[in-house]
Amino acid sequence: MPRGLDHIVHAVRDLDAVADLYRRLGFVVGARNRHPWGTHNHIVQLPGFFVELLTVGEPDKLGDDGFSRNFGAFNQSFLARQEGLSILILESADSKADHREFARADIAASDVLSFSREGRRPDGSAMTVGFSLVFARDPTPADAGFATCHQSNPENFWNAAFQKHPNTVNAVAGAVLVAENPTDHHIFLSAFVGERELHATSLGVSVATPRGDIQIMDPAAYRSQFGVEPPDVKQGLRLAAIRFKVSNRNALIAALETGEVDFAAHMALTVVPPAQALGATLVFEAA
């Protein structure tokens, strides 16, 4: 069964600044969390999907464990070059099965890695959330990370109160990557998503998942589709944009204007460019 979008990491150097940005975009932003390997985050929830706003807050805690290498050190290296969307993570029904499939496809980058942390409910009470991740590696050059994530106690994580945003964003529509030659990543994308049927169009390569589409475009197609400059792909495939669904465009525009966020209208899309969104392109479209 294909794997749907689970979450995307938006890596930045100033976590307070990105949390403020997402609030001004009209999102509800969760409390600051800390990982034992030194990364800190805030969570922005949608039904079944979230954006992980992340920085390496305590680099002295990075070690030689799997999370330090595949997550902490990866984001530290990413942030030494740029800010923006760093890791694409898909949902997992069975982390051990994911690892077996990735190993057969020769894209496995880690064993099954598990951890738990304390979280907070909307009323402030404490609870525990747990995750198991399996990291994957595109054999062709890529400046992006990939993983699957299985939650051991999702009832403690997902909360409808965190998913009601003033901008009326109610779902993820997709993730967009950029590469000089999108078809070079066709085999990897198929194995990573678990879907044999990918589509090649004039825009590049795409695959529909149970939660959102994944597209790989070349720089010219990306520029044409969204009206902004693509990220630098000299080091390989980059994760460039998140597409959100909104139920009320007027409420979205009101939130952006109140938050003093620069945006542009482009082909029925509302686009917040990388210069405003700390290296990411954030695209809002009708639900």
User: Tell me: the pLDDT tens digits for 164-219?
Assistant: 999 999 999 999 999 999 999 999 999 999 999 899 888 899 999 999 999 999 99
Please write the tens of the pLDDT for every residue from 262-280: 999 999 999 999 999 999 9
Q: Ramachandran region of residue 156, left (φ > 0), alpha (ψ -120 to 50) or beta?
A: alpha
Q: Which of 2-11, 116-125, 166-175 bottoms out in mean pLDDT, i.e. has the lowest?
A: 116-125
Q: Does 56 lie in the same domain as 134? A: yes
In this prediction, residue 121 carries a pLDDT of 66
Total tally of structural domains belonging to the chain: 2
* Confidence bin at 1 (pLDDT 50/70/90): confident
Residues in the chain: 287
CA dist., res. 28 & res. 44, Å (int): 6
Q: Which of 25, 168, 149, 174 is nearest to 92 (CA)?
A: 149
Mean pLDDT of 127-152: 94
* Confidence bin at 281 (pLDDT 50/70/90): very high
Q: Does 218 lie in the same domain as 147? A: no
Q: Which of 146, 162, 178 is where one domain is finished?
A: 162
Q: Which two tokens stand for residue 2?
A: 């294909």
Checking if the pLDDT of 80 tops 70, the result is: yes
Q: Does 59 lie in the same domain as 153? A: yes
Residue 77 three-state SS: helix
Q: Which two tokens stand for residue 145?
A: 């990370």
CA dist., res. 287 & res. 172, Å (int): 9
Q: Which two tokens stand for residue 66?
A: 């799997």
Mean pLDDT of 38-42: 97
Per DSSP (E only), the strands in the chain are 5-11, 33-34, 39-46, 49-56, 84-91, 113-120, 126-136, 145-151, 169-178, 199-201, 204-208, 213-217, 238-246, 264-266, 269-272, 281-286
Q: Which of 105, 135, 162 is where one domain is finished?
A: 162
Q: Can you give the C-alpha Rg of the chain in angstroms?
A: 18
Checking if the pLDDT of 230 tops 90, the result is: yes
Question: Containing domain of residue 189, as a range?
Answer: 165-286
42 forms bridges with which residues in the sheet?
53
Whole-number average pLDDT of the chain:
95
Mean pLDDT of 130-151: 96
Q: How far is the CA of 6 from the CAs of 92, 140, 283, in angstroms?
A: 8, 23, 18
Checking if the pLDDT of 11 tops 90, the result is: yes
Q: Does 253 lie in the same domain as 154? A: no
Q: Does 234 lie in the same domain as 122? A: no
Q: Does 225 lie in the same domain as 113? A: no
Q: Does 262 lie in the same domain as 246? A: yes
Q: Yes or no: say if 181 and 205 are a contact pair by the CB < 8 Å rule.
A: no
CA dist., res. 258 & res. 113, Å (int): 41
Checking if the pLDDT of 120 tops 70, the result is: no
Q: Does 179 lie in the same domain as 88? A: no
In this prediction, residue 95 carries a pLDDT of 97
Cα-to-chain-centroid distance, residue 150: 15
**CATH code of 135's domain:** 3.10.180.10
CA dist., res. 113 & res. 135, Å (int): 9
CA dist., res. 78 & res. 55, Å (int): 11
Checking if the pLDDT of 118 tops 80, the result is: no
Question: At 252, which helix (H) or strand (E)?
Answer: helix 249-258
Q: Does 32 lie in the same domain as 144? A: yes
- What percentage of the chain exceeds 90 in pLDDT? 90
pTM assigned to the model: 0.96
Q: Does 169 lie in the same domain as 153? A: no
Q: Which of 162, 195, 220 is where one domain is finished?
A: 162
Q: Does 33 lie in the same domain as 149? A: yes
CA dist., res. 179 & res. 138, Å (int): 12
137, 194, 49, 64 alpha-carbon torsion, rounded to 10°: -30
Checking if the pLDDT of 126 tops 80, the result is: no
* Confidence bin at 122 (pLDDT 50/70/90): low
Q: Does 151 lie in the same domain as 34? A: yes
Checking if the pLDDT of 8 tops 80, the result is: yes
In degrees and rounded to multiples of 5, residue 247 shows phi and psi of -95, -20
